[in-house]
Amino acid sequence: MSALKIKKGSNKHSAYNLRPTFSDTIESHTLAIVVDNEPGVLARVIGLFSGRGYNIDSLTVAEIDHQGHQSRITIVTTGTPQVIEQIKAQLGRIVPVHDVHDLTVEGASVERELALLKVAGEGEKRVEALRLADIFRANVVDSTLDCFVFEITGTPDKIDAFADLMRPLGLSEIARTGVAALPRGR
């Protein structure tokens, strides 16, 4: 006799994830991670995010100190406060990771992203695109008779806004670098 009295034929008996979140608010955080520039280090960081089910909204990486073999990875991620804390602690465990900074909580910081947008159009639309680009301080970095490539730098929000305006004007391709960020002051 089954101690749990499950009806024969019932199939509702699997619920692995019992973890309640301590708080439900989802926050977006920008993390700056200084790592040894060695093979596989980016794979370790990304593997951590995919393996543990964390989000990556944006990621940039480049060497910042050639002599010291160090790279800086900037990740924008979202999660509950507990998940964000876990992400930072888990990143800290990776052996070639030197420092993890949460720019979102460590005081004010500046964030910039660069994007290239290709806008194809003629006549009035082409003129309007140029006018808006001027307002957003986007530069024309390439031009053909029927196409512009704009370069714009700013916060991700600003780039989103610019891209939204360009869409009806013939936006055909966009390339974004992801966020680079630094804390303000010393």
Binding stretches for another protein (CB under 8 A): 1-10, 12-16, 18-20, 22, 36, 39-40, 43-44, 47, 51, 82, 85-86, 89-90, 92-96, 98
Q: Which residue number, 90 or 155, has a Cβ lying nearer to another protein? A: 90
Q: Are 156 and 111 in contact (CB under 8 A)?
A: yes
Q: Which residue number, 43 or 108, has a Cβ lying nearer to another protein? A: 43
Q: Which residue number, 98 or 167, has a Cβ lying nearer to another protein? A: 98
CB of 47 to another protein, least distance (A): 6
Q: Which residue number, 33 or 119, has a Cβ lying nearer to another protein? A: 33
CB of 50 to another protein, least distance (A): 9
Burial classification of residue 29, based on how many CB atoms lie within 10 Å of its CB (0-12 exposed, 13-18 middle, 19 or more buried) = buried
CB of 89 to another protein, least distance (A): 4
CB of 54 to another protein, least distance (A): 12
**Residue 31 parent element (H or E):** strand 27-36
Residues 55 and 50: their CA atoms lie apart, in Å, by 8
CB of 73 to another protein, least distance (A): 16
Q: Which residue number, 18 or 145, has a Cβ lying nearer to another protein? A: 18
Taking only Cα atoms into account, the Rg of the chain, rounded to an integer number of angstroms, comes to 23
Tell me if residue 154 falls in helix, strand or coil: strand
Q: Which residue number, 51 or 185, has a Cβ lying nearer to another protein? A: 51
Residues 29 and 41: their CA atoms lie apart, in Å, by 21
**Which DSSP state fits 63?**
E
Tokens (6 digits) for 28: 């977006």
CB of 161 to another protein, least distance (A): 37
Q: Are 172 and 125 in contact (CB under 8 A)?
A: no
Give the torsion sign (CA, 165, 166, 168, 174): negative
